[in-house]
Amino acid sequence: MTQAPIPPGEMTLDELRAALAPLIPAHAAFDGWSDQALAMAAAELGIPAERAKLCFPGGAVEMIDAWFDAIDRAMAKAWPLERISKLKIRERIRDLVTYRIEVVHPHKEALRRAFAILAQPQNAMTAAKLAWRAADRMWRIAGDTSTDFNHYSKRGILSALYTSTMLVYLDDDSENLRETRGFLDRRIDDVMRFEKFKASWRGSRERLPSLSRFLGRLRYPAI
């Protein structure tokens, strides 16, 4: 049986934060990531503006963080295992990035304002963290279970790919976002070629003579 939704007036601050996050962008497009945008989202939800402010003590950056987190959660629901498992790896990544673009598209101006805030020097670490988190969650949905160096290299590469694609998207006025889709496909092609190169390099490295064994033989020659 489906649990009844919690009335906004009875929500904890964490629950309110999650409920407000997807509502703020519609107002941030006009009023920026400001207290005014938050107050309008609060009115939409039916709670006092002052209570809404308690959910985001860090101001604009925390609102943006919460919005991106809401996108992550929506993505996880939209791409369950039974759906994503039918696709090849490159298709999984392409479709997940494309999904995120489609979700933010109605709020393109809010995203532009969010990126302008995150581009400020004092927010550089937060921007990097949010890009890494998005990449990590995309890889996890895509089925990646690596725990070695690949875990970090995959996320680093996807973080850069995702960020650059979103920047292209912000300036894309082409029909059906043709330029963004083409850019994304080319970057994924680059990543796939790099992965193939890594695999072949690892294979060739394993066939190389062992330096330690070679030095050992010099010191202790076979009799």
Q: What is the pLDDT at residue 222?
A: 46
Within 10 A of 206 (CB to CB), how many other CB atoms are there?
7
Torsion angle of alpha carbons 71, 73, 77, 80, nearest 10°? 110
Say which residue the tokens 């498992």 belong to: 85
| Per-residue model confidence (pLDDT) at position 172 | 97
Buried b (16+ CB within 10 A) or exposed e, 74-84: ebeeebeeeeb
In this prediction, residue 8 carries a pLDDT of 85
Mean per-residue pLDDT pooled into runs of 10, the chain (223 residues): 74 96 97 98 96 97 98 96 94 96 97 97 97 96 90 93 96 96 93 63 52 48 45
If you ran DSSP here, which 8-state letter would residue 21 be given?
Answer: T
Q: How far apart are CA 135 and CA 83, in angstroms?
A: 19
Q: Is 47 left (phi over 0), alpha (psi -120 to 50) or beta?
A: beta
Residue type, 56: F
- Helix pair angle (89-104, 60-78), 10° resolution: 130
CA distance to 27, 172, 209, per residue, from 159 (Å): 27, 20, 36
pLDDT attached to residue 215: 45
Cα angle 184, 186, 191 (rounded to 5 degrees) comes to: 95
Q: pTM for the whole thing? A: 0.84
Q: Where in the chain is the domain with CATH 1.10.357?
A: 82-214
Cα distances from 157 to residues 2, 36, 161, 198, in angstroms, run 39, 37, 6, 13
Residues 151-190 as b/e (b if ≥16 CB within 10 A, e otherwise) read: eeebbebbbebbbebbebbeebeeeebeebbebbeebbee
From residue 98, give the alpha-carbon distance in Å to each of 64, 108, 199: 20, 14, 27
Domain with residues 82-214, CATH architecture: Orthogonal Bundle (1.10)
The token pair at 215 is 């030095």
Asked if residues 70 and 18 have their Cβ atoms less than 8 Å apart, the reply is: yes
